């Protein structure tokens, strides 16, 4: 798959030259006062092109690797890379993510790596919110790094029934991957944390599926594969058939043992599916 760069300099003329009724295809006059904006535009356009080129090369490399894997029985059993990407403000989702990783790494031939998306709140705001520091052993991820993974598990807290803005900002920044459909066909699961029972245990997952759909990713729900734990009525338990979940309440509640078991199961379950799809591509 090759990413075609369709943007032209004339597409942006409305932004910097509002006095012109329509973009000029053959001539672009620049007033002295707007030269700074003009050169900034050229720089940004060049950066955008370079990012697309990196993505294009990465996709072509992955295609060559997949071709080699299909022709070599030994290469076909190469390590399956599962990226567990999360955002956690107070640590609840991080706790779930680590258990998801344990479950995924329990599958032979799978390498599960933890990543966290960048924080968008300032240190001043975080301090006022009494948010603990981020995990030092979990690196931040850039959207273009998603190309290297064979599958994903995305985790985030709920905000008014949808994923936290920090994670949405991360997906919004992945438009270069979307344009190339670089993630199409890759499996992905979802896990989350909400404040209480009516805080979006199912809605958060449902609204997050749209992000996967536009990228062409394959949503892997948990279903009822967790068995009797899905029907536990003697204790409060987060999660649903869409994925593993937990409740944070006022922030003092931590994921229960049952919720962690479900997270472990989800990590293992998605890892197994990712491994199967990697070793037997859909086009085979």
The pLDDT of residue 16: 34
Q: Can you give the pLDDT at residue 2? A: 43
- Give me the pLDDT at residue 67, please: 52
Q: What is the pLDDT at residue 78? A: 87
- For residue 63, what pLDDT is reported? 56
CA distance readout (Å), 59 to 5, 215, 216: 15, 14, 15
Tens of pLDDT, residue by residue, the chain (284 residues): 445 444 433 343 333 333 444 444 444 444 444 454 444 444 445 545 555 665 665 566 555 555 555 444 544 568 999 999 999 999 999 999 999 999 999 999 999 999 999 999 999 999 999 999 999 999 999 999 999 999 999 999 999 999 999 999 999 999 999 999 999 999 999 999 999 888 889 999 999 999 999 999 999 999 999 999 999 999 999 999 999 999 998 888 999 999 999 999 999 999 999 999 998 766 54
Task: Provide the pLDDT for residue 13.
Answer: 35
Question: How confident is the model at residue 40, as a pLDDT?
Answer: 42
Q: What is the pLDDT of residue 197?
A: 83
Nearest in space to 219 (alpha carbons), one of 152, 149, 150, 283: 152
Task: Give the pLDDT score at 175.
Answer: 95
Measure the CA–CA gap between 239 and 269, rounded to whole angstroms.
15
| Long-range contacts from 168-174, C-beta under 8 angstroms, 24+ separation | 169/117, 169/118, 169/120, 170/85, 170/87, 170/117, 170/118, 170/141, 170/143, 171/211, 173/143, 174/143, 174/146, 174/215
Quick one: CA torsion of 258, 259, 265, 271, rounded to 10 degrees?
-160
C-beta separation of 251 from 90 below 8 A: yes
Q: Identify the CA nearest to 90 among candidates 121, 44, 112, 62.
A: 121
**Cβ-based neighbours of 122, under 8 Å, separated by 6 or more:** none
Q: Considering only CA atoms, which of 36, 8, 275 is closest in space to residue 151?
A: 275
Q: How far apart are CA 216 and CA 76, in angstroms?
A: 24
* pTM over cut 0.85: no
What are phi and psi for residue 140, nearest 5 degrees?
Answer: -80, 150
């Amino acid at each position: 798959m090759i990413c075609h760069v369709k943007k032209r300099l004339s597409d942006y003329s409305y932004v910097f030259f509002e006095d012109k009724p329509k973009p000029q295809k053959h001539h672009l006059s620049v007033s002295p006062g707007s030269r700074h904006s003009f050169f900034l535009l050229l720089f940004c356009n060049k950066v955008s092109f370079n990012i697309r080129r990196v993505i294009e090369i990465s996709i072509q490399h992955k295609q060559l690797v997949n071709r080699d894997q299909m022709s070599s029985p030994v290469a076909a059993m190469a390590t399956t890379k599962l990226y567990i990407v999360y955002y956690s403000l107070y640590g609840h989702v991080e706790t779930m993510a680590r258990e998801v990783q344990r479950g995924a790494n329990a599958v032979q031939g799978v390498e599960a790596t933890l990543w966290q998306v960048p924080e968008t709140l300032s240190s001043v705001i975080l301090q006022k919110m009494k948010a603990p520091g981020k995990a030092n052993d979990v690196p931040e991820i850039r959207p273009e790094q998603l190309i290297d993974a064979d599958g994903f598990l995305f985790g985030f807290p709920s905000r008014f029934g949808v994923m936290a803005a920090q994670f949405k900002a991360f997906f919004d920044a992945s438009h270069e991957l979307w344009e190339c459909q670089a993630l199409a066909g890759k499996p992905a699961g979802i896990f989350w944390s909400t404040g209480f029972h009516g805080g979006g245990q199912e809605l958060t997952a449902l609204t997050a599926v749209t992000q996967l759909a536009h990228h062409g990713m394959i949503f892997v729900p948990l279903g009822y594969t967790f068995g009797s734990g899905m029907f536990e009525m003697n204790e409060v338990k987060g999660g649903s058939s869409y994925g593993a979940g937990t409740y944070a309440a006022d922030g003092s509640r931590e994921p229960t043992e049952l919720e962690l078991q479900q997270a472990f199961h989800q990590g293992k379950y998605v890892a197994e599916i990712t491994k199967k799809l990697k070793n037997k591509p859909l086009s085979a």
